[in-house]
Structure 1
Amino acid sequence: MVMDLFYSTTPVVKKKRVHFNRFMLDIHERIHKLRYSQLGAVETWDKIADDIVEDVHLLCFDEFQVTDIADAMNMKSLFSALFKRGIVIIATSNRHPDDLYLHGLQRQNFLPFIPLLKDQVELVNLDSGKDYRKSEVFDFNYPSWLIKGDSNLPGQIQKIISKFGKNQNPVENNKLTVLGHELRVPKATGSVAEFTFDELCQEGLGVPLGAQDYLALSEKYSAIIVKDVPRIDLYVMNSALRRMITMIDQFYDNNVALLLILDVHLDDLYFSSHSRDRELTMEERMFMDDYQVKGVAEGVKIATLSGSEEAFAIERKISRLAEMSSEKYWAETERIFTESKN
């Protein structure tokens, strides 16, 4: 909301607002295009920064969070070049700069970026302690998740297809081209796509999907149904959990109507097959301290994700699913859908 107010009222003409994840995807595309240009590393970053600054003087990021090692390794070079050219950056984040990419692989190579960032930005803490996405203003008439076998499930699926399918016939095995590879859509009815959890978050389509694939689906479809979402073992399904988190982020940012069909209640979705009667390691105890986790039982459950950003993201995803269950969210999705058809 604060970013909305700022961006809509600032008089800066050359401005851009973008989700940080999408911005870094664009950076990787620029690097790919310059791969055969005979430029050295410094010249490559200078070229990318010059191209960005030519179009943008104010860059606003939503969700400034580093989770990808490729992004982490490029941050200092990229932002050194951008700051040198006087670009102004404003970002929202759930992380203090000191905690960016915490416990990430080869974090020692990322650390020089942190003082560079802190030298260029002013930190403002806006944490009120209240999760407004779970506020009572949401009436949950349009659930973003239901349990398999719920009596409301057939009616909810039909409601989605009626709103966004517009009486079109289902089409099987549609194909989208995403950054040079094909993404298969097993079933689509108008602007409604249907997948299983394995197809979107495991490797059921033959290749592991990434942020660019979920973004492509967001741009093509107004509503997405994800079936057969299992209980997620944090010990053995970490990569699937990461993809699920990325998927929800992309769908939320693009106001896609989402229906997850879960095997169990959302509160029981995550578990650890190796958490019983196990002594916490020192690293895990530090992890609990970092995130102010209270209670050994809950600590063991969450600590199975220590060393990654996923634990930090779980609660945010659950609160996002609450917002995605609101009449206001679905009304906005329907408005965007209607405008796209006019």
Structure 2
Amino acid sequence: MSYSSPVPSRSGDMRPDMTPIRGKGVFATYEQLVSSGTLQPDPAQRAAAMALDRLATELTRRHEGGDGFLSRLTRRRPQPLRGLYLVGDVGRGKTMLMDLFCREIALEKKRRIHFHVFMQEVLRVLNRPQSRQTRREDPVRDLAGKLHAQYDLLCFDEFQINDMSDALLVLRLLDLTMALGTVVVATSNTAPDALMKSQTQNRATMKPYLEAFSAHMDVLTLEAVRDYRRGRLPDETVWLVPDSAENSTLLRQAFEAATGGRAEPGTVAVGSRRIAVPACRDRVAWFGFEDLCGTPLGPADYLALASQFHTLFLDAIPALVPDDFDKVRRFITLVDVLYENRVRLRASAASLPETLYRTGENARAFERTASRLDEMRAQGWGEGQDEE
């Protein structure tokens, strides 16, 4: 199995001017960013930075002491190290701190990846057709061995599981991988024992998998004082409210200006399938809300769109109600993917993000979505994508 280069991906929480100088250490770099005014002082973030610094020291010491190399040479498992699971409300700096940790730690065999992307890679590998020669009795265990051979450290952003079959698969995979010695650091809005909490009928089945996963992790709750994504000066042309004919026209005019009036229908390939794009030109695309969230699309589809376009225009986002839970779930995933890949979103909507969806099955998860949308509305967010 082969993954892409273990270079941390872009994060919406780590601004370009926050890129640390490697080698100073996680905590020292965090303190430097506070001293320079790049970050605001926050006791909870400071405590998390200290915990990540301790883990970085232990992991580096184990690697430099020969555990990583010699264990593979002698087939001896390295001394287990507990990973760190950062949990807290939206916008508290979890991603920023994890990115700081992953960039600062002096390991070559590391990878920072959004959990949506990791799940898609895992499912793609496990669903790959196998010949009689390549067939394995336990493909999950085989994949865990390959992951461990490739990475000493895995950093997951937005750890969240919404499907029972995916939950059992990924929890077992990570349990096996961490048992071999790979360390996992993850961020999430949900504590491990609350994952899939709504699946009351299947909790008994999930419990041993959750307990095995949690046994490898220390859980640290980040109770920062505020949502740091909010409060930036918004660009009033990015999120047009309400969802009216007038605002839909204004959004269409902005799209025509961005594409020079030469947009045409197109498609984006996702494996053997194709997603219809109502209108696009170069790396700018137009969709209606129902095009992307009213049809059965998933993370792989949104990732394909994010790789193709640097700007998405999304028309007619409605007020969402509890019965819209499938659409809400897709919209949450779409925003996660766009945010992670720094894709700019311009939209017309029934209301501001924080009041789009207040009650229902995914209301708690939507708090993160509203926070991210609030940041994405800020002036200058996502600039520079045109040239990439």
| TM-score (ref. length: structure 2) | 0.69
SS at match of 2:221: coil
Looking at structure 2, the residues matched to 190 and 168 of structure 1 have their Cα atoms a distance apart, in angstroms, of 12
Residue 128 of structure 1, CA deviation: 1.2
1:38 Cα deviation from its structure 2 partner: 3.3
Give the superposition deviation at 1:113: 2.0
Q: Report how far residue 107 of structure 1 moved.
A: 3.0
Partners of 1:142 and 1:326 within 8 A in 2: no
Structure 1 CA distance for aligned equivalents of residues 333 and 177 of structure 2: 26
The match for 1:214 is 302
Partner Cα distance (1:38, 1:187) in 2: 43
Distance 1:258 1:94 in 2: 23
How many pairs were matched up? 290
Q: How big is the shift at 1:313? A: 1.0
What is the identity, as a one-letter code, of the residue corresponding to 1:70?
A: S
CA drift at 1:153: 6.2
1:55: how far off? 2.2
Counterparts of 2:247 and 2:256, CA distance in 1: 15
Alignment partner of 1:243 is 2:243: no
Aligned to 1:111, the other structure's residue is in SS state helix
Match of 1:116 among 193, 212, 221: 212
> Helix, strand or coil: the match of 1:132?
coil
Query: In 1, are the aligned partners of 2:251 and 2:348 still within 8 Å (CA)?
Result: no
Picking from 221, 227, 231, the partner of 1:125 is 221
**1:39, CA displacement in angstroms?**
2.1
In 2, the alpha carbon distance for the partners of 1:267 and 1:15 equals 36
Is 1:258 aligned to residue 362 of structure 2? no
The answer to whether the aligner puts 1:226 opposite 2:314 as a matched pair is: yes
Task: Give RMSD over aligned pairs.
Answer: 2.3
* Pairwise CA distance, 1:337: 2.2
Q: Work out whether 1:169 is the aligned partner of 2:221.
A: no
| Cα deviation, residue 160, structure 1 | 5.5
TM-score, length of structure 1 as denominator length: 0.77
Change (3 A) 1:76 1:156: closer
Structure 1 ranges of 4+ moved more than 4 A: 34-37, 150-163, 264-268
Letter in 2 for 1:202: G
**Is 1:200 aligned to 2:292, yes or no?**
yes
State the 1:316 CA deviation.
Answer: 1.5
Q: Distance in 2 between matches of 1:214 and 1:238?
A: 18
Q: 2:76 corresponds to which residue?
A: none
- Residues 169 and 190, structure 1, Cα contact 8 Å, conserved in 2: no
- What amino acid does structure 2 have at the position aligned with 1:182? R
Selected match of 2:270 from 156, 175, 178:
178
- Cα-to-partner distance string for 1:112-171 (whole Å, 9 max, x where unaligned): 122222221122221214111112x334355345323486765565456545x3x37212
1:93 counterpart residue number: 188
| Seq. identity, % | 28
